[in-house]
Amino acid sequence: MTSLDIAPIPAFADNYLWLLSRGARAVVVDPGDAAPVQAALAERGLQLEAILITHHHPDHIGGLAELLAARQVPVYGPRKEASSIRHLTDLLQDGDQVEVLGRRFEVIEVPGHTLGHIAYYSAATDGAATELHGPLLLCGDTLFSGGCGRLFEGTPEQMHASLGRLAALPGATQVYCTHEYTRSNLQFARVVEPGNAALAEYWVRVRALLADGLPTVPSSIEHELRINPFLRIDQPAVRQAVQDHSGQPIEAPAEVFAALRRWKDEFRPPAEP
């Protein structure tokens, strides 16, 4: 069996529509725009056989109608957002499993960014000697490299719990998020935790990747636990920074998270040299 390939399809200003393929078979994740997906399929000689959706925002589902106009394929997505997403054929909830391209994905409900947001986690390879990918996570707008999604619908408690579930996945899990937000996320993270050596090293690497026009993702759970302040609120330096910024003691983890998220929402990065 040929190995699984995962490639980003850039869309809009900063979206990544992830294209999974094995041989001539393909699956696309969160196709907010049909045109770049159609172009990628044609260029690579791929046949689309399924679509995975994480949540209902237009930049994640806007290309569905056009992609489905010329083909009939299953569209998997969150049961709790079925009323907001036309064209879903398979409604998913926490604990469900989906098999595509020889990989089995577990559905994890991660409310916060939206109330019905789901992520897809594949724990292991298919056993083929040629398989290149270990555990992988398709997490939409819940977890970003160095950050997390805004709370458009959910509560801080929900998002904190959702991130906790993702943080508990194996460290080697590759994290495929759907936006190129890493630079701005790290600008904030470096203010929160200026003494973090891993973060300083990552900042240099990210700037080099972007200067070369390359994606900064995927990341990994292990890496995010070292540099992402939203996964590090149990660290004394992060908790102290949040308390100093808020001007009051904050103890409960969900409250620390909420204050950190509010800080990020209001943050304006300093000018870079």
Active-site entry in 55, 56, 117, 160: 55
Question: Which residues does 159 contact at the CB level (< 8 Å), separation at least 6?
Answer: 111, 112, 113, 142, 148, 149, 151, 257, 261
Q: In terms of Cα–Cα distance, which of 46, 44, 50, 13 is closest to 30?
A: 50
Active-site entry in 30, 33, 57, 160: 57
Active-site entry in 30, 56, 60, 160: 60
Is 117 annotated as catalytic? no
Active-site entry in 33, 117, 141, 160: 141
Dihedral in degrees, nearest 10, Cα atoms 261, 262, 265, 270: -90
Is 59 annotated as catalytic? yes
State the amino acid at position 179 in one-letter form.
H
Is 87 annotated as catalytic? no
Is 245 annotated as catalytic? no
Active-site entry in 30, 33, 56, 113: 113
Residues annotated as part of the active site: 55, 57, 59-60, 113, 141, 179
